[in-house]
Amino acid sequence: MKKALVILSLATAAFLFNSCSKDNGGNNNPPLDCATVTNKAWTADVNPIIQATCNQVDCHNVASVNGPGPLTNYAQVFSARATIRTNVASGNMPRNTTLTTAQKNAILCWIDSGAPNN
């Protein structure tokens, strides 16, 4: 009986630990409709977010070896777009702050629209 209780407690703890994330796993977020997102241009919308939240010391600045490396210009961000999308959508990035819904949607929809240099 005591062994079963320990196993049940460990299973419950593992479940709770794995279900935690910054954005609640996205389970409470409706599907993203990029047709309704108007702020998804590289120059005006996405690049300022990347530079303010990603291109930081100890993150993805010029000398970075973290994840996809530096995210200081369009070519680098474009090359890393799949990794960026996965980590922004999951809430894993950025690590030191949380993006607003509008910022997150801008990045995701920009990538989903082919990540144009506009």
Alpha carbon distance 97, 54 (integer Å)? 10
State residue 7's pLDDT score: 54
pLDDT mean across residues, the chain: 81
pLDDT at 19 over 80: no
Alpha carbon distance 40, 85 (integer Å)? 13
**100 and 66 in contact (C-beta within 8 Å)?**
no
pTM as predicted: 0.72
For residue 81, tell me if it sits in a domain.
yes
For residue 73, tell me if it sits in a domain.
yes
The boundaries of the domain holding residue 101 are 33-118
For residue 95, tell me if it sits in a domain.
yes
The helix-helix angle for 81-90 and 101-112 (nearest 10°) equals 150
Alpha carbon distance 16, 72 (integer Å)? 37
Q: Tell me: the pLDDT tens digits for 50-102? A: 999 998 888 898 888 888 999 999 999 999 999 999 999 999 999 888 999 99
Residues 6+ apart with CB under 8 A from 9: none
Structural domain total, the chain: 1
State residue 102's pLDDT score: 94
Q: Which of 45, 24, 38 is nearest to 98 (CA)?
A: 24
